[in-house]
Structure formats: C-alpha cells, structure tokens
Chain A
C-alpha cells in the first residue's frame, strides 16, 4: 500500500496547498513533501525485492493488494492498476522525493507570487513522477507520463523568465509530439501481440515479446515491426532525455524556468526519458537494440561531445548546465547500449548521480542569481570573495560534474566506461568509449572557465545594494545534495547492489535473445 499512500498523500497534499493562503503555502508544501520523502526512504530501507519487474523471476516488493484491480475494460484488453518497484525504479522514486523537497525549500526565496499555486503544482508533479516510476500498466503509466507535463508547462509558463511563454509552448509541443510518436510505436507492439495478451501490463507484454510471440502486422514482418516500434519509441523517449538532435527545447526551458523548477526538470524529468528507454526499448526489444548498437552508440557519443561543445560556447550559467545535461545523458545511452552489468547499471547510476549533481548546480546558480540578479558569466567576477559558501559549493558541484573521484559522477561514468569498453555486442566498443570519454576533458574546460571568470579574480558586480548572507534555507539543500553526492561516490554499493540485481536480467535476456553477437 505504500506506493498508493505516497501517491495519495502527494496528490491530496497538493490540493490542500492549493487551498492554503500564499504565506503558508511554502512551509505547508515542505511539510507535506516530507511525507513522500520519508516514505521513499523507508521503502529504500525496507526494500527486499530482487530482479527486474519486467521478468518473471522478479521478487516484487511493495506490491499492494490493489494490484490487478481492473480500472477499465477495452475490448480484449484490461487496464489494470499495477504498481511496484524494483532496483531501477526505487532509487528514482527516492531521487524524485528528495529533489522535490529540496526544490520546495529552495523556492522559498525566489518565488514571491501565486505561491500556493506554485507549490501545489510542484506536488502534483511529484505525484505524477512517482506514478511514472511505479506504474506497470501501460495505460496508467502513460497517463502519469503526460500528467507530468501539465504542471511543468504551467510552472515554466507562469513563473518563468522573460521568454517563458515561448519556452513553455516549445516544451509542450515538443514533448507532446514525442509522446504521440512513442504511443504509436507502442501500439505497434500491441498490434503485434494481438490475441496473446489480455492487459496492458508491461511485464506481461515484455515476457510475451521475449517468448517470441510477436507477430507481423500488415506489411511488416515481426522483425520489422520490432524495429519500427523500437525506433518510434526511441524517438519519443529521446526527446525527453534529450538526445541530440532533439534536445533544443531543453536549454530554453531551463533558462526560462525558475530555479526550483530547473532542479526538477534536470534532476528528475530527464530521467523519465532514460528510465522509459531502459524499461521499454532496452528491456523489451534488446535484440533490436543490439542489432543497431553501433548506430545508438554513435548517437550517444555525438550527444556527449556535441552537448559538451555547446556548453563550451555558452555564457549563461544555466545554459551551461543545461547543455552539459545533454552531454551527461549521452553517457546513459552509451551505458544502456553496452548491455553489460556495469554498462546498464552504470547508466542507472548515472541517472541518479546526474540528478543530484545537476540539481546541486542549478540550485547553486539559483542562490547566486537570487543575490546578483544575473547569470551571465561576463557580468560578474570574484564572487567567491563575497559569497564564499555558494561559490565553494558551486566548485564542489562542478568538480562532481567533471567526475572527481569519490563523488558520484566519477563512479557513474567509470561504470559506464567499464561496461561499454568491453561490450561484446558493440563493435568498435573501445573506440566509441574512448571518444565518449573525451567529454570529461571538455566538461572540465567549460566548467573551469566559467568558474574562473565568475567566481574568481577581482570582485566585480554592478549592484546598488550590499550583498548579504544567503538565508539558511537557501544553503541547507546544497549541503544535503553535496552529502549525497559524496556518499554515492564513496560507497556506490549503497545503491548499486539493488541496481545490479535489477539490471542483471536485462543483460542476461540480451545475451540470450540477441545471441550475444
């Protein structure tokens, strides 16, 4: 029942916050968000499942008695309520709850109008995110998937920067078109499985495909259908990740979104894309992924290097972090396509790590922005002189992003590299990996330049007011995130154990179905 309870608390809490007066909304939302946070941590503590939910062998954890309730009957198919977590989704649920709570706290300073609506939308989004990571029925999942968009568009479009409408509409249209494409792709799979499945439950569909029950539809043979569906879904999820060349909504959305929303956008929303890629494409259709491994790896490497080069050309701190997200998510794709324990596990680990680190950087940029009212690298210098805490936390986060050992970024990237380097199914894997790894040099280049120009050197900032101390509630979330980043870097096993148990079946299935190439 815990998953349903989390959803209910967040949703009802959101309604309560919506009705609360503005001056209480922030504190109330924080209090309510502690519920799912503690629930998530409790689940993490109590987790006793193993295996991957998509496979028969999984030992399900936290599956409630409501599971299997039919919500709707659509001809031969039933829409059911199915929710459970495994080693891939549970860390992401916890990540969402942590980042939401911290984002709410970090919103206390910058958000000064329509507070109750703002915090209510954040909570609605949290509910939808938990839904995305826990729902196992395609229809319910898709409702949550689209449900994330609505609060996000409003959060960008109402509380955003000067070009917020452009950014919000771009985000909405982009992701909606993508959803349509992935929906069609998935319908293709359903059509191919006509007659063999009785519900939209993802495990059932996945197992049916693995049992070889996918049939041809219309002019397509089963293999062609699988390929077409794979790429339709890939394209749909790629927008959310985002992968080059469908990434251009991201910088606009990030730059215009208020900082707490950027934190959630980079920290959790992007992970929806990679999570879905892992759950759908790489779990259900591994043989297609392996047959096109070189192509996907090339896309990943291009994302890494191209995103990093773009970040190098930016002058807006938020844009820098936004483009570097494109680069970082490329590592996830590279890890996924490797189909090794370290590759897929490292990709999952990178989702968590990137969520924490990019969240930290966005939050720090927000703290700096609250004070300086500018994010342009050229507009300020020597901030470390007046804002030592925020500056040095930014330094720590930046080094985390660069993959400094004993911080989570290094662990994640190292796992991905180890996994991808010797990937059997990927031809020229050492070359792909080595090329992708060059991203760690470029990332150091732009982050160090940005830091040198804005944080160090003689102090310069044109303001007509004194720079005061940032309030405690602005700074505290930064240290929470920093602590988590170091924890995951020093002891990756805390999470990697459960990640490994959930990714192992995927790797095995790939080796079986894909024939190991």
Chain B
C-alpha cells in the first residue's frame, strides 16, 4: 500500500504542475488556467488530509533526504520532508485556503468584465500555483535551508502577484516595495541560515537538527566541541545572535514592526491574492517558521523577550492605524499585521499552542474577510472606499453574514474562533508577565489592541453593510455566482467553529483537558519511524525549555487557577465588545460621519501611518540614492578621473614638450650651441679650470 508520507512531495508538486501548465498552455485552456489550479490544489488538499490522518494514526514522519542538493565539504544540503502535527495541520490549512482562493478567483477574475478586459489570467493562475507550491514546500521543509529557499520563492510569487496589473503605475511599485522590504529581512535570515549551517553543520529541524543540538547544549552544556562559535563569543550570545538574524526574515515576511510597511501597499494586487498572502502563505510563513524552529528560540530568553515585545507592540501599533483607514482592504491589511503581532507575542512567551491556534483561526477568518471584501469589490464595480459603500446587507446576504462571522472572529467575540485563540495568547502572556515586567508591557499593549480591534472591525462592517448606500454602485450590486459564495460559506463555517478546538477557559473550568484538542495534537509525540526525536518537537518540550532553560517562569494569577482564564477572558471580551459597541454608536447610523477629521494632528499622524512609509521612502530615495549618486560621481570623477588623468597628463605633456620643436632650423642650432656651451662650462667648473 502506498504510504501518505511517500507522497508528501506531491502536495507541492501538484500546484507546481499547474503553474507549468498555466505558463505553457494556459491561454488555450477553457478557463485560462483556473481549472488545473483548482484540480491541483484539490489534490493537494486531499493528500494533505491523508497525511494529517496518517500522522494521527501512525505518528510523525521525518525524512531529510528526499533529494540531495549538494554534498561537499563535510556537510550535505538536502531537500526533505518533515510531517509532524504542526506541519500536517499547516498543510491542510494552506491547501484548503489555496483551493478556496482558486475557486473564488474564478468568480473574481474570470467572471468579471473589467478583469476579463485586462486579461493575463494564465499568468495569474501560474502565480497562484507557484505561490501555493512554494508555501506548501516551505511548510513541509525538513531543514532551514530548504525552508529559506521556498521562503524566497514565496517572496518572488508575491512580487509577481502584487504587481499582477503591471500596466498601471501603482502595482509594480507596490510589488517592488514588498519584495525589497521582505528582502531586507531575508538578508538577515540568510546570514542566520549560513551561520546556523556553519555553527551546527546541519540545518535540520528535527532528528539531530540544530534546535536539538542547541537546546541540549543550553540545558546540559554538552556537545560544545561540535558547535562552531566565532572568536571568543559566549555560546549563548552567539545563539541569540543567530536567532535574531533568522528573526529578521520573520519580521519582514510576517510584516512586523518596523518592516510592516510593504503589506498595506500589497493591497494593489488582486483581492484573492491578498487573501492568500495574508491568510495562509507569505505572512503566515514568518510566524510558522518561528513555530517550526521553536526548539531553538525556546532556550533564549533575550530573543523571546524581543519577539514578545515586537509582537505586542505591532499588535497595538497596527490596530491604531486600522482605526482610521477608509479603504476596506487597508483596514484588513492593518488587522493582519496586528493579528500576526498577537502570534509573535504568543511565541515570545512560549505560547506555542496559542500561536498555532491563532494562526489557524486567523487563516480562516482572514481569508474569509478578504474574500468577502473581494466579493463586495466585484459586486460594486471596483469600489473599495468604505465611504462609497454602505447598505449592502440587503442585497448581499450571503456575503454579509459570512463577513459578519469573520468580523466577530477577528474582533474576538465569544464563541467565534478568534476569541478563543486571542484569549489564550493574552492569558499566556499574562502568566509570564506576572513574573517579568517587560512581558507585562507586551501583554498590556496586546490587551489595548483588543479594544481597537473590536472598534475598527465593526466600523468596517457598519460602514460597508449597514446604513444607506452612499453610491449608486452600492445600491445595485452585481449578483454573485456559486464560485464566490461557496468559498465564503465554507470559510464562514470554519471561522465560527474552529475556536472549539482549544477552549482553554472551558477546559480549566470543567477541569477536563481532553477537550484541548489542538494542545493535545501538538503534544502528540509518537514517531512513525520509531525514534525518540519527536519528543523534541512537542509542546511539552518547548514549555520545559522556556521555563527551565530560558528561565521564564509563570506567575500564578490572583484569582484561583480554575477561574483565572475565565476572568481574564471576560476582560478581553468586554474590551472587544466595548470597541464594537463604540463603533456601533458612531457608525451604525443612517448618515455616519467621518470621525477621523476630529482627531486633529494625532489623527493625521496615524492616517499617514506615523510617517513610517515616508521614513522608509526617505531611506531609499533620500539616503541610499544620494549615496549611490555620490559614489557614482566619485567613481566617474576620482577613480575614472585618475585613469583619464593618466592619459590626459601624458597627452598634455606630450603636447607641451613637442613645442620645443619649432621647425625652424635656427632654433635647433641655438639649442645645440647653448647646450654645448652649458656642457663645456659645466665640465669646466667640475674640472676646476676656472680656479
């Protein structure tokens, strides 16, 4: 019988095949590449589910030598697969979202008149296929180098797809920005990868991989002679540096402060692409990477603190910008940044399960929200300014109710999925924060962001769907077909129910930890190929590292242990509800007003994204370009100038010296005679004739 694990590579190969088909013969196919894409991602989804179920029944699987890329000089660099609870869950998630996005794209692109006019569908579906393939391969990567390679390919695909409408001005520029900003992060990542390869001689994630070596060393101090450390650096410091370097790539791809600026601009791409980028592929890749190599981070308290702090800060910072945006996609973009901030916060406090949980929930509700926004956009003939929408509730009920489900999840209203995961993130942060003040600050920022999230989410819902239509397009939206509604319905259901996977407060209350399905799933540790190594990829192990090696102890919350999750859950729920109600009171009226103008200078600063975009543009055009121009001037002037000067000096001196030759014989004779006289006199003086 064929083993699911032997076919894991096909999960990525199928979408890649659809990429090849779309590129080569796509333009002659009936839906110009949509059908192979749908078929391929459906196949990936089926295989992923199979792999998931196989992990459930027979345990995880690790194979580091699917293909040897290079084998030289002491270590080999390979491609392999690692299918454990985390990656199999992620595979299902990514292939599901990719599949739904492909289906939705048929409605969004092929059925829309304007998009048909613009054309380029084979390129679009080729991009989607390659995007899905790279992300899926990234997810099942067995080592960091392979992960990096597909991480970069994900970046390439985002460039292709964000700049999909390349005949306009803005999309290519946004694509460039997205690639450059993430490339800046990836630079640090690449240094980190190279460093890890050199330090440990391997970049494997699992069996004998670098997280294992590192945590073993940190725990016991053994194995130091197999670890290369530059100069006389302290080994733990060096590990922290490596961890921070890799984190650079994570910050870039997961759009964390200060490298988040590319993501709002990336809205220039087609909306289904935004759904794919935000929910399941590119942005998720960063957080997934930290989770994947969490065994490395878990033992490094400094790095954990930085991760947590960046996460908490980003959550608040992005939420504050989401409050003032007028474009529905921009609001969603900032909410994405904010939500990934939560995941980083969770990872920073050792909340591996909470982060994975939020990653899962977020993937579903954010894909849902983006696809819903896409549905609104095609239905209203490409209007995405919320002030030109309104009142769509009546005409687009399916879109409205699914969008509402997604919004409730995003805002964190019980019992929708976002509540459970966000609550768990914050609870984990609080537990660490009670002992470590720095983490408490991160927690506080995360908590404040909950209020803002509730506010901007419902501001968006009310402005888009409630009230009276504020433009004629919003009055008569185009009807949608099954291929747009279907994915929305599927995701709507998922966004509502996935929270039930890990109801921590309920579990604590009833004292039954069996209903923490996700936690148990991520803690399951039998190995398909029989090794002990799976233990190093479990939640327990990570928890042990965070608490014992990194020394981040959990404080005990003031109320009793059973009630505490409920109490703090209630706090964050009431904050979210408060935000939602505030939004209702302001915007759920027939004639809502623009409140942003009343915020004065603060509002302007926030609306301009704290001038961070301007700052980065200034870095590029105000610093780098002048330096480049100056070096060019230096090069042309000084270096090439010196070269040309050598030739000019020769030419010039030749020009001058030849003037001695006047052509008049008389002058020559004079020179001869004078020389003779000078010579004779000189000889005379030296010879002493005149003495």
Contacts and interface: CB of A to CB of B under 8 A. Distances in A.
Interface of A: 170, 173-174, 244-245, 247-249, 306, 309-310, 312-314, 340-342, 345, 382, 384-385, 399, 402, 404-406, 410-411, 414-415, 417-419, 421-422, 428-430, 433-434, 437-438, 440-441, 444-445, 448-449, 451-452, 455-459, 491-493, 496-497, 500
B167 A438 contact: no
A405 B153 contact: yes
Interface string B229-269: 01100000000000000000000000000000000000000
Q: Which 8 A-B pairs have the closest CB atoms?
A: A341-B73, A405-B149, A456-B172, A313-B632, A312-B628, A422-B198, A313-B628, A248-B640
A491 B230 CA distance: 31
Contacts of B639: 244-245, 247-248
B230 A405 contact: no
Contacts of B163: 452, 456
Contacts of A452: 163, 172-173, 175-176
Given A309-B628, A433-B194, A342 B643 contact: no
Contacts of B172: 451-452, 456-457
Given A341-B74, A421-B198, A404 B153 contact: yes
B686 interface: no
Nearest to A392: B123
Contacts of A340: 73
26 contacts: A173-B647, A248-B643, A306-B631, A309-B631, A309-B632, A310-B628, A310-B631, A312-B624, A313-B632, A340-B73, A341-B72, A405-B148, A405-B153, A410-B149, A414-B145, A414-B190, A419-B73, A421-B198, A440-B190, A441-B180, A445-B624, A452-B163, A456-B172, A458-B169, A491-B69, A493-B69
B625 interface: yes
B187 A440 contact: yes
A238 B197 CA distance: 31
Given A309-B628, A313-B631, A342-B72, A441 B184 contact: yes
Interface string B214-228: 000000000000001
B273 interface: no
Given A404-B153, A417-B190, A452-B173, A458 B168 contact: yes
A335 B150 CA distance: 25
B441 interface: no
A458 B167 contact: yes
B183 A440 contact: yes
Interface residues of B, number: 53
A441 B194 contact: no
B79 to A, nearest CB: 10
B629 interface: yes
A500 B197 CA distance: 19
B180 A444 contact: yes
Interface in B126-181: 145, 148-150, 152-153, 156, 159, 163, 166-169, 171-173, 175-176, 179-180
Given A340-B73, A444-B180, A438 B628 contact: no
Interface string B177-215: 001100110010011001101110000000000000000
Contact of A406 (B149, B176, B190, B194): B149
Given A310-B628, A313-B631, A429-B230, A437 B173 contact: no
A492 B69 contact: yes
Given A313-B629, A385-B166, A457-B169, 6 more contacts: A306-B635, A417-B190, A438-B187, A457-B166, A496-B72, A497-B72
B669 interface: no
Contacts of A430: 195, 230
Contacts, number: 141
Nearest to B228: A422
B70 interface: yes
Interface of B: 68-74, 145, 148-150, 152-153, 156, 159, 163, 166-169, 171-173, 175-176, 179-180, 183-184, 187, 190-191, 194-195, 197-199, 228, 230-231, 620, 624-625, 627-629, 631-632, 635, 639-640, 643, 647
Given A248-B640, A404-B153, A493 B198 contact: no
A412 to B, nearest CB: 11
A405 B190 CA distance: 11
A248 B635 contact: yes
A414 B68 contact: no
Nearest to B633: A313
A412 B431 CA distance: 47
A411 B632 contact: no
A340 B197 CA distance: 14
B638 to A, nearest CB: 9
A410 B167 CA distance: 30
Contacts of B620: 445
A91 B74 CA distance: 23
**Chain A contact residues, majority secondary structure:** helix
B197 A418 contact: yes
A165 to B, nearest CB: 13
B195 A421 contact: yes
A480 to B, nearest CB: 17
Nearest to B69: A492
Q: Which of B70, B180, B191, B627 has the most CB of A within 10 A?
A: B70
A402 B156 CA distance: 11
Nearest to A413: B190
A512 B184 CA distance: 39
B669 to A, nearest CB: 38
Nearest to B148: A405
A411 B77 CA distance: 11
Contacts of A402: 183
Given A174-B643, A406-B149, A421-B194, A448 B180 contact: yes
A456 B166 CA distance: 5
Given A448-B180, A456-B172, A345 B72 contact: yes
A379 B199 CA distance: 49
A407 B331 CA distance: 37
Contacts of A449: 176
Given A421-B194, A441-B183, A458-B167, A314 B632 contact: yes
Nearest to B72: A500
Contacts of A440: 183, 187, 190
Contacts of A404: 152-153, 156
A496 B70 contact: yes
Given A310-B631, A417-B194, A493 B68 contact: yes
Contacts of A429: 230
A405 B166 CA distance: 24
Contacts of A406: 149, 153
A500 B71 CA distance: 10
Nearest to A497: B72
A301 to B, nearest CB: 14
Nearest to A314: B632
Nearest to B636: A248
Contacts of B167: 382, 385, 456-459
Contacts of B159: 448
Nearest to B76: A493
A506 B230 CA distance: 24
B292 to A, nearest CB: 17
B133 to A, nearest CB: 12
A233 B336 CA distance: 57
Contact of B150 (A309, A310, A405, A418): A405
A75 B315 CA distance: 81
Contacts of B629: 313
Contacts of B194: 414, 417-418, 421, 433, 437
A452 B159 CA distance: 11
Contact of B166 (A306, A384, A437, A492): A384
A364 B325 CA distance: 42
A362 B190 CA distance: 28
Q: Which of B148, B168, B190, B624 has the most CB of A within 10 A?
A: B190
Nearest to A306: B631
Given A310-B628, A310-B631, A444 B183 contact: yes
Q: Which of A306, A312, A415, A456 has the most CB of B within 10 A?
A: A456
